[in-house]
C-alpha cells in the first residue's frame, strides 16, 4: 500500500485523490530543494546552459505533472505554459499551478513556494479557468522554508499542514487557522515609491510617519520578494502586503498573475478572516479574464486593506497633501 501523503480527514472524498497528489508532488519538491537542486538537469530534460533557477522550476513542474497524472484532473494550467494541458478526459477538476513561486530567491535560501487554485472542470480549458474567482472550489500554497507547510482552503476556513520529514506525510497542524489582527507591519517594494499612484504613496507616507502621523502608530516595513513567504508571514502574524500597479511600462495592471497567484492567495486570506483587493475592489469578486492576466494585489488584516481602499476614495487634495494635513484620518 502506498504511504499516505497527507492527512485527509478534513477533505471531501471527491477531493482526496487530488490533494494526495499535490502533497506527493510537494514532498518530492521539498526534498529537491533541500538538496539544492543537485542532479536534476537530466531528469528535467534541460540542456547544460539552463541556470539553476530554470532547472529547479522545470523540475518542480515535472514533479507535479507526474504526481497529478491519475488524480481526477482534466485540465492543468501552469504559469509558464501558454495553454493548459489536458490530463484525463473524464477528470472533474481544473488546476492552475505556479510550481515554484519566488525561485529567483533559491540561491539566498529565502523561503519559496508553490501556489494552486482548483476549479470545477468544464468541457474546454478556457471555460474552466476564465470565470469569477469566487467559483474556485479550493486554493492554497506550499511553503518550502525552515519547515514545509501546506495551507489550503475549500471555502470553509483554512487548514494548515506540516510536512513530517520522517514519513513524507503532511500532518494536520490547525484545522481552522485564523489570522491575527495585531501586527503593525507593511510589506511593499519601497524602491518603486516614485512610480506608485498617489493613494498608495499617501497610505505608505502615513505608515512611515509613525506616532506623529494620522495613524498614531509606529509601523515596521518588511519585503521578502517571495509571495508565498509574504502570505505565510501575514497569515501567522497579520499586517498588510501591497503590490500596486505603477507607472512603469508593463506594470500598469500590476505584475502578479490573477489566476496562478492572486486568486488562491485571496481565498486563503479571506477564509482566515482578512481581506484581499486590487487596492479598491475585492480580488474574489473579479472575473479571471485571461490565463496570464495580471492585477494589483493588496492583502492582509481586514481593517488595513479596507483603509487602503478608502485612500483611493479621497479627493485629490487629500492624497497630495503632507501626512500632517490629511484631514480625513486625523483624530
Annotated binding site for Mg(2+): 79, 98, 100-101, 261
Rounded CA separation 136/172 (Å): 22
Rounded to 5 degrees, what angle do the CA atoms 141, 183, 198 make? 85
- Encode 138-178 in three state secondary structure: EEEEEEECCCEEEEEECCCCEEEEEEECCCCEEEEEECCCC
Q: Which three cell numbers stand for residue 234?
A: 501575514
What residues form the annotated binding site? 79, 98, 100-104, 261
On whether the CB atoms of residues 329 and 215 are closer than 8 A, the answer is yes
Rounded to 5 degrees, what angle do the CA atoms 26, 240, 258 make? 55
Query: Quick one: which H or E segment has residue 113?
Result: strand 112-120
Rounded CA separation 132/155 (Å): 14
Strand partners, 171: 162
CB atoms within 10 A of CB 270: 21
What residues form the annotated binding site for substrate? 101-104
Instruction: Give the closest residue to 267 by CA, choosing from 84, 132, 65, 83.
Output: 132
On whether the CB atoms of residues 177 and 166 are closer than 8 A, the answer is no
Amino acid at each position: 500500500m502506498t504511504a499516505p501523503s497527507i492527512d485527509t480527514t478534513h477533505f471531501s472524498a471527491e477531493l482526496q485523490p487530488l490533494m494526495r497528489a499535490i502533497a506527493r508532488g510537494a514532498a518530492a519538491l521539498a526534498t529537491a530543494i533541500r538538496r539544492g537542486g543537485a542532479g536534476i538537469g537530466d531528469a528535467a530534460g534541460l540542456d547544460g546552459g539552463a541556470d539553476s533557477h530554470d532547472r529547479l522550476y522545470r523540475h518542480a513542474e515535472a514533479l507535479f505533472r507526474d504526481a497529478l497524472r491519475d488524480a481526477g484532473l482534466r485540465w492543468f494550467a501552469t504559469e509558464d505554459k501558454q495553454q493548459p494541458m489536458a490530463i484525463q478526459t473524464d477528470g472533474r477538476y481544473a488546476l492552475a499551478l505556479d510550481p515554484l513561486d519566488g525561485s529567483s530567491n533559491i540561491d539566498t535560501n529565502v523561503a519559496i513556494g508553490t501556489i494552486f487554485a482548483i476549479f470545477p472542470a468544464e468541457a474546454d480549458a478556457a471555460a474552466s479557468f476564465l470565470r469569477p474567482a469566487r467559483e474556485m472550489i479550493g486554493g492554497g500554497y506550499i511553503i518550502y522554508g525552515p519547515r514545509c507547510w501546506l495551507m489550503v482552503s475549500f471555502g470553509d476556513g483554512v487548514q494548515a499542514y506540516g510536512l513530517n520529514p520522517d514519513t513524507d506525510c503532511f500532518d494536520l497542524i490547525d484545522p481552522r487557522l485564523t489570522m491575527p489582527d495585531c501586527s503593525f507591519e507593511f510589506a511593499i517594494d519601497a524602491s518603486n515609491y516614485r512610480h506608485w499612484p498617489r493613494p498608495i504613496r499617501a497610505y505608505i507616507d502615513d505608515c512611515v510617519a509613525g506616532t506623529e502621523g494620522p495613524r498614531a502608530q509606529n509601523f515596521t516595513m518588511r519585503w521578502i520578494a517571495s509571495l508565498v513567504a509574504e502570505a505565510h508571514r501575514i497569515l501567522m502574524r497579520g499586517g498588510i502586503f501591497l503590490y500596486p500597479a505603477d507607472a512603469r511600462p508593463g506594470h500598469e495592471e500590476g505584475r502578479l498573475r490573477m489566476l496562478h497567484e492572486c486568486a488562491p492567495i485571496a481565498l486563503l486570506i479571506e477564509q482566515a478572516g482578512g481581506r484581499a483587493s486590487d487596492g479598491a475592489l475585492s480580488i474574489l469578486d473579479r472575473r479571471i479574464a485571461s490565463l496570464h492576466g495580471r492585477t494589483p494585489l493588496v492583502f492582509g488584516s481586514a481593517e488595513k486593506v479596507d483603509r487602503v481602499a478608502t485612500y483611493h476614495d479621497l479627493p485629490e487634495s487629500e492624497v497630495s497633501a503632507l501626512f500632517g494635513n490629511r484631514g480625513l484620518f486625523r483624530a
